[in-house]
Amino acid sequence: MTGPSNWQDRILQPDTAVEQMKQKAALRALEEVRDGMKLGLGTGSTARYFVDGLGAQVADGLEVVCVPTSEATRAQAESLGVKLAPLDDLKRLDLTVDGADELDDALRLIKGGGGALLREKIVAAASDRMIVIADDSKKVATLGAFDLPVEVNMFSHGATAAAIADALAATGNQGAMNLRGGADPFITDGGHYIYDCA
């Protein structure tokens, strides 16, 4: 990075307490980024603040190469001049920063509510480190307030859903499982459906 910067003055300033917490978490994660790193970029409302701050640092001379976990994150990063590459070209990443839908005191979490869960997991698995950023509204005593998203291939998704329901029932879970979007199913960037499991 080149010289002192006022990059924090150039990023969008949130207007609510929750959004301020999200940005604070994202800015703290940015402190872990070093010149020359290969980064995974998460998806969602908190990860957007990280990408925004990263873009400001790139404008000041930070050199990184990143793998986005969704088309929305790709578009945001490209608009900010962040260098992107396919994971196949990089093989391993130094760090991935992503958000969570909910987390408990033991730091277990549910991710993927934004529909990028398969890519998020692939990128996280290819990373030496992962930082999960979240605001206080995501903290729960017990996981499950947010449905567990399960991404499935479109081919024979009904049979896959039945197998998932059987597996859940075998563990004593009798909660509902619904195709996201119902009659007009949500399609992930990878061309899959998502079943939300209560």
Q: Report, as residue numbers or ranges, the catalytic residues.
A: 120
Measured CA to CA, the distance from residue 8 to residue 26 in angstroms comes to 12
Q: Are 97 and 47 in contact (CB under 8 A)?
A: yes
At 65, give phi and psi (nearest 5°): -130, 135
Backbone angles phi, psi at 54, to 5 degrees: -60, -40
Contact 149, 180 (CB under 8 A): yes
Contact (CB, 8 A) for 61 and 83: no
Strand partners, 195: 150, 179
Contact 56, 23 (CB under 8 A): no
